[in-house]
A and B are shown apart, each in its own frame.
Chain A
Amino acid sequence: MSGWIALSNITVRFGALTAVDAVSLDVDKGEIHAVVGENGAGKSTIMNVLFGLLVPDEGTIAIGGTPHAWKTPQDAIAHGIGMVHQHFMLQDSMTVLENVVLCAEPVNRLGIVDFATARAKLEDIIATYGIRSRLDARVADLSVSERQVVEILKVLYREAEVLILDEPTAVLTPQETRSLFEILANFKAAGKAIVIITHKLDEVMEVADTVSVMRGGRLVSSGPREATSKDEIARGIIGGDLPAPRARGPYAPGAPVLKVTDLVARGEGRPVGPVSLEVRKGEIVGVAAVAGNGQAELIETIVGLRRSAGGTVSLDGQDLAGKDVAARRALGLSYIPTDRQRVGLALEARVSENALIGREMESRFRRGLFQIGSQIDAFAREVIARYRIKVAGPRAKTSSMSGGNKQKLVVGRELSRETPLVIAENPTWGVDIGAIDFIHGELVRMRDAGHAILLVSTEIDEILALSDRIVVMFEGRITGSFAASDADRFEIGALMTSHGSGGIQTRDAS
């Protein structure tokens, strides 16, 4: 029996690469269907086919038994399919209402946009599904989760019967995730079909009715959640058994490497801070914060990308005041930035060029001002092998790699510098389970080898899994500080979204 939406034998090729290989997938009304798999497994690709962004090389799409062939997303939207992408597509300077109706404006006979009708329709939607949204707020003033709601409203406003969400919880706190799931449950009750593309198995187990696992462009399994288990799904995703839990050395921190004292960072509008923290040799300090709470400004100030407005930063006892990025890096700092697409890598450059950056003046890579291509390629090959990066070779274009492999390149380049201090900012954002595991392993290995690691993450699970000490930031200030052994995920989640019950929460064992 085939479902309400039936994707049959879909094949998508990008040049020589088969991204989706003869996959058939059914989605029914009134179900939440989770599609899981590593990056590069083809899950986004097949959903892009359903949404009309990609035309499949083979295979058919049928809705309610009627076959369709989309040429553009507009065709798909017209037949009730809506998609919320991982990267939001909103106009910051416009209000929520304006964003939602953009390109689907109701107009009166004079051709003037009829906002009253649009507003009434939206308020109806909001009431029906228990959504909270401020229609007249400017998108620029909204938090990430509120922006996501706007994207969902856009889809609902276009009367979608199928809602596809690509990694919807990647940017949300546990509390925000919970309220998203409540909204999704209401959609389900109203008979809509929901597809979520995700990496997070706990969430799959919590909300999905049906789970489809993809690996290497093929469908590994598809069936009701009750009939499977988290372990079985994980095995399906990575195509083998799970790695053993990570072993880590005993916690024996040494001398302080990074000392931040009353640091005030220039923010957009209001300053961030003052913040004080310390990272010692052989420990991982995790900073937990929802995106936009000052952690990015803090890190940029430490790295030297942003000027400080007060306070001091020292590295191995050396004051960093007045030193630029290059000088700070030379003193012993490595930086894995959140945004690998823009800050971590030059996507249009070769893999070798990205591996080289920061080392181009080393004598082994140049003869006078001329670069020695063979040495640079050899070095890139070393990084590729050591960090198990899947790529055609050192001369391949960086943008040809999957997200996980791009991130491994950044991580490999930075960690192989073996600096006393490593700053890792959302080091596993949007990468697959295999790469997450590898990157986490490398960070722990660095810690065991006596490096000081400052980890910043919006993922509480990542913070909990890696940190020896945990610091929580909210609205530019540190609102809590815990030894890892005392940490409670809901308490951290609460501190990430509020000032807490008064004063700074401190339960530092040390």
Chain B
Amino acid sequence: MMATDTGFAARLGPWVAVIAWLFAILLVLMIAVGASLDQAVSGFFNGAFGGRNSAYLMTTIGRSALIIGMALAVLISFRAGLYNIGGEGQLVVGGIVAALVGIYLPGPGPMVLAVGILAAMAAASLWAVLAGALQVYLGVPLLIGSLLLNYPARYISSYLVGHPFRDVAAGLPQTHMVPQGAWIPNFPGTRLDMGIILVLLAAVFTIVYAYRTVPGYRTRMNGLAPDFARASGLPVKRLVFQTLAMSGAIAGLVGAIAVFGVHYRFSDGMLVQPLYAWTGIIAVLMVGMVPWAVPLSGFFFAAVQTGAAGMERTAGIPKEIGLIMQAAIILFVASRLAVVNLAGSARGEGNDDRA
């Protein structure tokens, strides 16, 4: 009992420090751009949680659905010790496939939606498995392979929406719209699409998979101690592919939700610019890969982003300040992780002689 209590306090401490620092940084930045403090603060909170009929809150929730989805994709692979940071590429592959299926597959709307989501998941899954194959068969570390595969995904999608599948009349590099029948419906009376339900289902699936199933157990052991998993005869190669396939599938699902629920089409950069994938990684690292906390941190980061947009609207503070804050958070997370790692290895040394 004692140990968990001190553990909790120890976990809380850095958070308080992080938030204090963030406010300090924010203050300095606002003074630098000459904005008034209370305007900025009210703009931030209104932008994140307010709006007429809570419209901005719905935007925040909608955005957090995508961030949480990407965070789940990260979580499932990171917990297995697989540093798949190619979420962005997998997301884009899922998005473009979802849009093309949505536009070109004939049939009733719900069927198109269902096929579009499944196709997006399958395609993104393959993209992730490709990074795994590079590691297993060619020795390209996953961290590098998955990162580099982001670029072809991004540029191939740019080409596809810029040329063969372009909605020429729109003038922008984007596809036509998917038919309205295939849209993910909004919650009645709101502007929030029901995609978040799919994300929550994915979250439940991820948690049940991680803690209750045999492959989840194997994956977890492989993540905690790869040498142990190998020496115990676990099918480690298969686990790599299996885990990456699931991670990619979730990223593909997020891409499909963005297409069918938010934008109704694929436009160049729409999944890259908002940094969903990277924010998802940070959201996972921020809470030390604890699954139940991931939705909370995903929501937190969505609020930082929409709040920053609100500050820009009301107080004229550039929303890049939101990005700067996010970058500051990354730095704090990085330093905290370093401290945790050091503490962990120091503890490991003394371990053997304690009762």
Per the 8 Å Cβ criterion, residues 206-225 of B in contact with A are 212-215, 217-218, 220-221, 224-225
Closest Cβ–Cβ distance, residue A205 to chain B (whole Å): 23
Smallest distance from the beta carbon of A398 to chain B beta carbons, Å?
10
Query: Which residue of B has the minimal Cβ distance to A18?
Result: B355
> CA of A359 to CA of B335 in the docked complex: distance in angstroms?
39
Q: Which residue of A lies closest to B346 (CB)?
A: A53
Which B residues are CB-close (under 8 A) to A345?
Answer: 225, 228
Instruction: Given A14-B354, A43-B353, A371-B217, check contact A343 B231 (CB 8 Å).
Output: yes
**Among residues 425 to 454 in chain A, which have CB atoms less than 8 Å away from a CB atom of chain B?**
430
Contact B354 A371 (CB under 8 A): no
> Are B352 and A402 in contact, with the CB atoms below 8 A?
yes
Residue contact A402 to B231, C-beta cutoff 8 Å: no
Identify which of A327, A371, A390 contacts B214 (C-beta below 8 A): A371
Contacts of A44 in B (CB 8 A): 350, 352-353
Tell me the interface secondary structure of chain B in the complex.
helix
Residues of B within 8 A of A361 (CB): 214
- Kindly provide the distance from the CB of B134 to the nearest chain A CB, expressed in whole angstroms: 21
- A17 near B: Cβ within 8 Å? yes
Question: Which of B227, B231, B355 counts the most chain A CB atoms within 10 A?
Answer: B355
Looking at the complex, which one of B2, B233, B355 makes contact with A329 (CB distance below 8 Å)?
A: B233
Chain A: minimal CB distance from B228 (Å): 5
**Which of A99-107, A174-182, A245-253, A346-354 is found at the contact surface with chain B?**
A346-354
Interface size on B, residues (CB 8 A): 32
Q: Does A342 contact B (CB under 8 A)?
A: yes
Q: With A16-B2, A349-B220 given, is the CB distance from A326 to B233 under 8 Å?
A: yes
A341 within 8 A of B: yes
A399 within 8 A of B: yes
Interface residues of A toward B: which range?
35 or more
Contact string against A for B residues 222-261, beta-carbon threshold 8 Å, 1 for contact and 0 otherwise: 0011011111111100000000000000000000000000
The docked-state distance in angstroms from the alpha carbon of A342 to that of B225 is 6
Given contacts A305-B230, A337-B231, A358-B232, contact A369 B213 (CB under 8 A): yes
Report if A85 contacts B (CB, 8 A). Answer: yes
Q: Does A15 lie at the interface of the complex (its beta carbon under 8 Å from any beta carbon of B)?
A: yes
Cβ < 8 Å to B, chain A residues 441-490: none
B49 CB to nearest A CB, Å: 37
Question: Do residues A15 and B3 form an inter-chain contact, with CB atoms below 8 A?
Answer: yes
A373 to B3, CA, bound (A): 24
In the complex, which of the residues A15, A339, A346, A399 has the most CB atoms of chain B within 10 Å of its own CB atom?
A: A346
Q: What are the interface flags for B342-355 relative to A under an 8 Å C-beta threshold, 1 for contact and 0 otherwise?
A: 00000111111111
Q: Could you tell me if A353 and B221 are in contact, using CB atoms closer than 8 angstroms?
A: yes
Q: How far is the CA of A217 from the CA of B217 in the complex (A)?
A: 36
Contact partner, A353, options B217, B349, B352, Cβ 8 Å: B217
Q: Is A357 an interface residue (CB 8 A)?
A: yes
How long is the Cα–Cα vector from A237 to B214 in the complex, in angstroms? Answer: 43
Question: Would you call A366 an interface residue if the criterion is a C-beta within 8 Å of the partner chain's C-beta atoms?
Answer: yes
Chain B CB within 10 A, most for which of A15, A40, A430: A15
> Chain B residues with Cβ under 8 A from A39's Cβ?
352-353
Q: Chain B: which residue is nearest A300 at the CB level?
A: B231
B353 touches A40 (CB 8 A): yes
Q: Is the CB of A346 within 8 A of B354?
A: no
Q: A17: which B residues are within 8 A, CB to CB?
A: 354-355
Closest to A342 in B: B227
| A294 is an interface residue with CB less than 8 A from chain B | no
Contacts of A346 in B (CB 8 A): 221, 224-225, 228-229
**Is A77 interfacial (CB 8 A cutoff)?**
no
By the criterion CB–CB under 8 Å, are A358 and B352 in contact?
no
Question: With A and B bound together, what is the CA distance between A344 and B231 in angstroms?
Answer: 8
Let me know if B232 and A357 touch, CB within 8 A: yes
Q: Is A36 located at the chain interface by the 8 A CB criterion?
A: no
Which residues of A sit under 8 angstroms from B221, Cβ to Cβ? 346, 349, 353, 357
Q: Is B6 an interface residue (CB 8 A)?
A: yes
Most buried by B among A216, A305, A369: A369
From B229, B233, B355, contact of A40 by CB (8 A)? B355
In addition to A216-B355, A342-B225, 17 A-B residue pairs with Cβ atoms within 8 Å of each other are A16-B2, A40-B353, A45-B354, A53-B350, A217-B355, A329-B232, A345-B228, A346-B228, A348-B224, A348-B225, A360-B217, A370-B212, A370-B213, A371-B212, A390-B355, A399-B348, A403-B351
Closest 6 CB pairs of A and B: A326-B233, A40-B355, A403-B352, A44-B353, A346-B225, A15-B2
Q: Return 24 A-B CB contacts under 8 Å, by A number.
A: A14-B354, A15-B3, A17-B355, A40-B354, A45-B353, A48-B350, A326-B235, A341-B352, A346-B228, A347-B224, A347-B348, A348-B224, A349-B221, A349-B225, A353-B217, A357-B221, A360-B214, A361-B214, A366-B214, A369-B215, A371-B214, A402-B353, A402-B355, A406-B352
